Amino acid sequence: MRRATALMVAIAVLGTPGVAFSWAKLTLRFADGRLGPALPLQRLEDTSEEAYVPANPLCAALDLDTFWRPETRKLVIKVGDRRIQVTVDTRLVLDGSNEVLLRVPVHYVQGTVMLPLEFVERVLAPALGPTVRLDRERIELVLGPANSDILGIEYAETIDGTEVRVRLAKPLSFRVQQTSDEIVRISLAEARVDPVALAADKPAVLVRNVRAEQSGKNVAIYLSVVPPLAGVTSRGENDGTSLVVTLRRGEAKAQEPATDRYVRPMVEMPTAAADSFDLVALDAGHGGFDPGVEAAGRVEKNLTLDLAWRVRPILERELGVRVLLLRSDDVTLSAQSRAEIANRAGADVLLTLHCNASFGSRARGFEVLYPIAEQSTRADAALASVRSGIADFNAWDMAYLPHAGNSATLAGFLEVELGQQLGNSGRGARPAPVELLHAAAMPSAQIEVGFLSEPEEAAQIASEEFASRLGTAIAAALRRYWVQVHGSDSGLTPPRGQAPED
C-alpha cells in the first residue's frame, strides 16, 4: 500500500454541544503544506464529547479498502494483511483475532458509518504502523515518520534563480556548500530524516532533483542543480524552523551553435532514435528505506534486486548488449534519480522490475505497464519543443513523449514473451502513470513479475528457474522490439543455436 509519506489531520473544535450536529471540519493537510478534502465531524452522543468522522472519506484519504455488509451492518477495513471490523451501534471492534471495546459505539448516519476518534487513536493508527499517531492534545493524526526533523522542501522562482525552503521540525545547525558545478549540499547537525519522503517529485527551475542521506546523527541533503550558478546563499527564518537556500542563475560561458541550441531540460530528451542497440537500463524496483511489498516472508526490494542481477548476464549473452543496473545495491533512489542515470547513459530502453500484491489470495500472474500517452496542451507544447530541438525547460515527466508509441510496442512484445516463458497468460499490458517511465527519455516499461501475496507464486519468483525464464523472455521481447522498430536485428548477438550470417 502506497500513501503520502506524511499526513496531518487537524481538527478545530467549534460550536455548541448537541446530538448529530455539525461540530467541525477535519482537514487533510500534507506535510508539504498542501490541503486535502475537508471531512465533517459530528458529535453523536449526549453523554460524550467524542467527535465522529465518516468512515468512507477517511479511509479513502488513507488509501484503505473498505467493505460494507448491509445485512449484518458491519464495516471491514483492510490495512495491509489485517482486517478490522466494526459493527453499527456496538462498541466492539475486531482487529484480526483481537477484540477492542470502545468507550462509545460506532454509529450510522444518513447512509454513512461514523467512527469515533477513539477508534482512530486506539485501533486504526496502531494498525497503520509505528510512524502513525493521534496527538490528543493538539487533536492531530500524524501519518508518516514521527522521527523526521525535515518536514518538507518547497521551491519558489525568483527573478534570477530559485529559492529552496527546507521546513524543519525544530531549529537545527546547518551548513550549505556548493560542492561541484551540479551539486549543492545542505548539512544538518543532530537531525533525523526519511530519505524517501524528500525525493523530489516536482523539480524547480534550477533544481533537477533532491536526495537525502542519514549519516549517524547528521543529515545531508543534496540538490542536483542546473549549471552554471552565479552564487548560493542561505539564511534561517521563522525562529530557525525554516532554512532558505537561494540559488542564483549564472551565465553560460559560451554560445552553442544555433542548430544545437537549447536550454538543458530536467532530463535529456533526444529527438531521434539511436541507430544501434547496445545499452539496456535495468531497474530493481524500490530499495533502501522503501521496501515495497512485504508478503509471504519476502520483501519486494530484495527480490527485484536479485532478479536484476540474475537477468543482467542473460541479456548480455543473448543480445550482446551492455546492461546498466540503475540500482545495484540496497539503496534509496527516487524515480527522477533512476531516470537521470539512464538518460545520461543514453540507454536504448529502460525496464523496471516490480512485484505485485493483492488482498485477494488468488490473484496471480505478471503484468506489463507502459507510460500513458498524455494528450494535453502541455504535452503538445513539450513534444513540439523536443522535435524542434529547443527543449525549453520541459518538465521531467514529459521526457517519455517522443517514445510513447515505441513503449507501447515494447510492452506488447514483453506480454507475449513473458506469457510463453512463465507459462501463464498474465494480466495483460496497459498504460499507467508510473513516475520512472514518464521521466525516461527512451522506450520504457515496468514488469510486475507476479504476486507476493500468493504463496505459491511468491516461491516461484524467488527461484533460480524463474529468473532464467524471466531473462529469456525479456531478451526475446527486446529482440522482437528492435526488429519491429528498425527492420532488422543488425548489431545484436544471434539467438542461441543460430550462427551469425557471413
Would you say 419 and 426 are in contact if contact means Cβ atoms under 8 Å apart? yes
**Domain membership flag for residue 268:** no
Would you say 468 and 314 are in contact if contact means Cβ atoms under 8 Å apart? yes
Would you say 77 and 60 are in contact if contact means Cβ atoms under 8 Å apart? no
Instruction: Please give the single-letter amino acid code of residue 380.
Output: D
Burial string for 243-278 (b: 16+ CB within 10 Å, else e) reads bbbbbebbeeeeeeeeeeebeebbbbbeeeeeeebe
Beta bridge partners of 24: 41
The whole-number pLDDT of residue 28 equals 61
Would you give the DSSP letter of residue 255?
P
- Same structural domain for residues 132 and 201? no
- Same structural domain for residues 326 and 460? yes
Determine the 3-state secondary structure of 100 from DSSP.
strand
**Domain membership flag for residue 267:** no
Whole-prediction pTM: 0.48
Strands (E), 326-414: 349-356, 367-371
**Domain membership flag for residue 496:** no
**Domain membership flag for residue 498:** no
Would you say 315 and 220 are in contact if contact means Cβ atoms under 8 Å apart? no
Of the residues 143, 160, 180, which one is the last residue of a structural domain?
143
Number of domains in the chain: 3
Listed in sequence order, the residues at least 6 apart from 292 whose beta carbon sits closer than 8 Å to its beta carbon are 285, 286, 299, 300, 301, 304, 354, 355
Quote the domain boundaries for residue 14.
7-143
Closest listed residue to residue 358, CA positions, set 454, 472, 288: 454
Other Cβ atoms closer than 10 A to 442: 29
The burial of 40, by beta-carbon neighbours within 10 Å (0-12 exposed, 13-18 middle, 19 or more buried), is given as middle
How many angstroms separate the CA atoms of 309 and 294, rounded? 20
**Domain membership flag for residue 463:** yes
Of the residues 95, 111, 143, which one is the last residue of a structural domain?
143
- Same structural domain for residues 293 and 236? no
How many angstroms separate the CA atoms of 131 and 323, rounded? 38
- Same structural domain for residues 415 and 433? yes
Q: How far is CA 367 from CA 294, 428, 447, in A?
A: 18, 6, 6
**Domain membership flag for residue 494:** no
For 65, phi and psi rounded to 5 degrees?
Answer: -80, 140
How many angstroms separate the CA atoms of 448 and 468, rounded? 16
The whole-number pLDDT of residue 63 equals 79
Q: Per-block average pLDDT, block size 10, for the chain (502 residues)? A: 40 38 57 58 85 88 84 89 91 88 90 89 81 64 64 83 87 87 87 65 71 79 86 89 90 48 33 62 90 85 95 92 90 82 87 85 86 61 48 52 86 93 84 86 92 89 94 94 76 61 46
For residue 291, say if its preceding peptide bond is cis, omega within 30 degrees of 0: no
- Same structural domain for residues 294 and 194? no
CATH code: domain of residue 181: 2.60.40.3500
Of the residues 221, 255, 289, which one is the last residue of a structural domain?
255
Beta bridge partners of 43: 21
The whole-number pLDDT of residue 69 equals 84
Instruction: Calculate the dihedral angle through the C-alpha atoms of 80, 359, 418, 346, rounding to the nearest 10 degrees.
Output: -30
How many angstroms separate the CA atoms of 335 and 440, rounded? 9
The whole-number pLDDT of residue 3 equals 40
Residue 351 cell numbers, joined: 525496464
Residue 434 cell numbers, joined: 508510473
- Same structural domain for residues 70 and 196? no
Listed in sequence order, the residues at least 6 apart from 376 whose beta carbon sits closer than 8 Å to its beta carbon are none
Would you say 369 and 411 are in contact if contact means Cβ atoms under 8 Å apart? yes
How many angstroms separate the CA atoms of 165 and 347, rounded? 34
**Domain membership flag for residue 158:** yes
- Same structural domain for residues 217 and 242? yes
**Domain membership flag for residue 418:** yes
User: What is the length of the chain?
Assistant: 502
- Same structural domain for residues 292 and 231? no
How many angstroms separate the CA atoms of 317 and 495, rounded? 9
- Same structural domain for residues 312 and 289? yes
CATH code: domain of residue 462: 3.40.630.40
- Same structural domain for residues 108 and 162? no
Beta bridge partners of 237: 242
- Same structural domain for residues 110 and 188? no
CATH code: domain of residue 17: 3.30.457.10
- Same structural domain for residues 332 and 461? yes
